[in-house]
Amino acid sequence: MRAKIPLAIGCLLLAVMLAFAAVPGWFTPYDPLEFDFGALMAPPSAAHVFGTDQFGRDILSRTIAAARVDLQIAVFAMLGPLLIGGLIGLMVGWFGGVADAVFGRLADLVVTFPFLVLVIAVVAVLGPGLINMYIAVACVGWVVYARLMRGEVRVQSAADYVAAGRVLGYSTTRILFGHVLPNAIRPVLVYAVTDMALAILLGSSLGYLGLGAQPPEAEWGVLIADGKNFFTTAPWISLAPGIAIVMAGLGFSLVGDGLAALLDVKR
Amino acid sequence: MSVLLDVSGLERRFAGARGMGDMIARRPRPVVHALSGVSLQVQDGETLGIVGESGCGKSTLARCMVRLIEPDAGRIVFDGQDVLALDGPARRGFNRAVQMVFQDPYASLNPRKTVHATLAEALRVHRIVPEAGIAARVLELLDLVQLPASAAGRHPHEFSGGQRQRIGIARALSVQPRLIIADEPVSALDVSVQAQIVNLFMDLQRRLGLTLVFITHDLRLVRHMAHRVAVMYLGRVVETGPVAEIFAAPRHPYTQALLRAVPQMTPRELRGEPAVSGELPSPLAPPPGCAFHPRCPVAEARCARELPALERRGGGWPVACLRAGG
């Protein structure tokens, strides 16, 4: 029961983020794009809880409006690596042999480079933008999923219930997708939820560097980058998006850990 | 009685692990001789017990007989068909006819599937009953292995080891096999539960007219339930014949040693002498000649050179010992 409290907190945080992303208009006190020249870089006050930026735009409204882009990043930057890596891991874990050896060396090669540096390199080649960022993350991030999946598949395929399926004359497809995959996928799914926290941080990092979401799109990393020029005079500009990143990251992490405990299959 | 399963000259070697040091020294990869020419017959409708110490190749033999492991050499003939040549639908037909019960009742059931799902899948894949009859057939199978109907909706982790083994037996029975190969099906269970599962096997064998190959290291089980026995030592069958006769007058020194090692209930039958000296030699380097000669109390010089064939040697059943019979 105690283990479910963090899961509940995580779900609550994500629910708030989802609500922001679904209907930002219900929560934003001001139009996030409206300039207010009467309140340029206003510090936090009753009217503007998190202050305003250099154009007088309400920081809280802009942060809430950005949730949609950031959650989209969390989902798509996780989904690509999950699908590609998961499928590769399933195949090399089951068939082994030469493909497995080639995969092992390739995976070693990819993890040699720091994750962010490699993503930035790929984005630099493809050009900045969200779509290219997803492609870059998929190119680099699949390795972790593939390794995780491969290890689980190897453990599961050695179990006697797989042998029983073969003795019963089941097809390889049936054994692989009906028996091995459902038993091997749990740690991969748990990791995927936790990975969404990292994806938001990555999206924000790239946004901050100008390689991810592009300025008219409000994104938390971009918002923080907006504030960096005024950090000594108006530090509040970066505060609300910073809090939002922490909250979303915490939410995904707590839900990931909670799911790990919840999905633990009894043997 | 006719021969249902005929295994002859079955060989299987496994490549052992080779360390970096071995590779640098260019030592060849070590080879484990799991089966070195196993021959045995299973008669239609009988229970054949296969006994031997750990590491003698019993499990490899069982897995070869259902084609989980492909042998390197030898022949397996089931009901007139060359098993190792079967492919496609013929192989699925063989899968239907020959089923296996595994040693570990925890690893042999898919933990994510309910009992109903596990049994229904086998029924569906082999189209044993029409879709509408599956639920009823699952309940029949559960009844056959003496599990309550309420078991159908539950997952493996909700059952004890003995109950799980019953589920494993129900799964094997679901495709209406003629032959069941049981690889140490009770050695992972408590002794009190062992008896129930053994009795279930005997009951099913009689009621369904099954042929049973029962692999175990426990001679008491063989005496209790098998009609014939094959004794294995280091990848070979050293003696095979009717249980009653072999238990009364074993001819191979290894069988004699094994029988002496069976715990006795009465002090009069206790003997001080050790059953058999030494340990099973490594299958990485089996001794030349008769593999049992380093531990054999009656070994002669020629036992270290000549490999005894499994022959009648003047007695009622085949034995692989140069000193037997004459």
Contact A266 B100 (CB under 8 A): no
In a domain, A183, yes or no: yes
* H/E run at residue B50: strand B47-51
> Are the beta carbons of B107 and A182 separated by less than 8 Å?
no
Partners of B184 in the β-ladder: none
- How large is the average pLDDT for residues B259-274? 64
Residue A263 has pLDDT above 60, yes or no: yes
Place of tokens 């990143």: A245
More confident residue, A99 or A262: A99
Would residue A143 count as lying in a domain?
yes
Is residue A164 a part of any domain in this protein? yes
Chain A CB contacts of B103 below 8 Å: 160
The domain tally of chain A equals 1
> Would you say residue A2 has pLDDT above 80?
no
Residue A214: CATH number of its domain = 1.10.3720.10
Per-residue pLDDT, A257: 86
**More confident site: B44 or B260:** B44
In a domain, A109, yes or no: yes
Environment class of B25 (CB within 10 Å of its CB; exposed 0-12, middle 13-18, buried 19+): exposed
Please report residues of A whose CB lies closer than 8 A to that of B96.
169
- Among A4-8, A91-95, A122-126, B126-130, the minimum mean pLDDT is found in A4-8
A48 within a domain of the structure (yes/no): no
For chain A, the average pLDDT equals 88
Contact A169/B92, CB-based, under 8 Å? yes
SS3 of chain A? CCCHHHHHHHHHHHHHHHHHHHCHHHCCCCCCCCCCCCCCCCCCCCCCCCCECCCCCEHHHHHHHHHHHHHHHHHHHHHHHHHHHHHHHHHHHHHCHHHHHHHHHHHHHHHHCCHHHHHHHHHHHHCCCHHHHHHHHHHHHHHHHHHHHHHHHHHHHCCHHHHHHHHCCCCHHHHHHHHHHHHHCHHHHHHHHHHHHHHHHHHHHHHHHCCCCCCCCCCHHHHHHHHHHHCCCCHHHHHHHHHHHHHHHHHHHHHHHHHHHHCCCCC
Inspect the interface and report whether the beta carbons of B122 and A168 lie closer than 8 Å: yes
Beta pairing partners, B81? B78
pLDDT given at position A256: 87
Q: Which of A167, A170, A177 to mutate to test the interface with B (most CBs of B within 10 A)?
A: A167
What Rg value do the Cα atoms of chain A yield, rounded?
22
Residues of B in contact with A265 (CB under 8 A): 111-112, 157
Q: Mean pLDDT throughout A148-174?
A: 94
| pLDDT level of residue B1 (50, 70, 90 thresholds) | low
Domains and CATH numbers, chain B: 3-304 (3.40.50.300)
Mutate to test the interface with B, among A155, A156, A160 (most CBs of B within 10 A): A160
Residue B199's pLDDT is: 93
- The pLDDT value recorded for residue A129 is 86
Beta B31-43 vs B3-15: how paired, if at all?
antiparallel
Segment B298-326 mean pLDDT: 85
Give the residue-averaged pLDDT of B242-266.
85
Q: Can you tell me the ipTM of this complex?
A: 0.88
Identify the pLDDT of residue A226: 82
Q: Rounded to a whole number, what is the distance in Å from the CA of A167 to chain B's nearest CA?
A: 6
A163, A174, A183 ranked by CB distance to B111: nearest: A183
Q: Which amino acid is at A209?
A: L
| pLDDT score recorded for residue B236 | 92
- What are A6-64's pLDDT values in tens digits? 889 999 999 999 998 888 888 888 888 778 787 788 888 888 888 888 888 888 888 99
pLDDT at B274 over 60: no
Tens-digit pLDDT profile for residues B50-89: 998 888 889 999 999 999 999 999 999 999 999 999 998 9
* Minimum CA–CA partner of B109 in chain A: A161
Residue B267 clears pLDDT 70, i.e. is over it: no
Structure tokens at A225: 């980058």
Mean model confidence pLDDT for chain B: 89
Task: Note whether B111 contacts A266, CB cutoff 8 Å.
Answer: yes
In this structure, what token pair is assigned to residue A157? 């395929």
CA atoms within 13 A on the CB side of B20: 0
User: Does B108 contact A174 at a Cβ distance shorter than 8 Å?
Assistant: no
Reference A66, options A206, A199, A224; nearest CA is A224
Let me know if residue A91 belongs to a domain: yes
Q: Which domain holds residue A207?
A: 4-22+56-262
**Mean pLDDT on B203-231:** 93
Select from B183, B288, B273, B302 the least CA-distant residue to B234. Answer: B288
A167–B100 C-beta distance less than 8 A? yes
Dist CA A185 CA A4 (whole Å): 22
User: Do the beta carbons of residue A94 and residue A165 sit within 8 Å?
Assistant: no
- At residue B311, φ and ψ (nearest 5 deg) are -135, 165
Q: For residue A43, is it within any domain?
A: no
CB A145 within 8 A of CB A177: no
* Rounded average pLDDT over A91-97: 92
Q: Which of A224-238, B123-137, B176-190 has the lowest mean pLDDT?
A: A224-238
The answer to pTM > 0.90 is: no
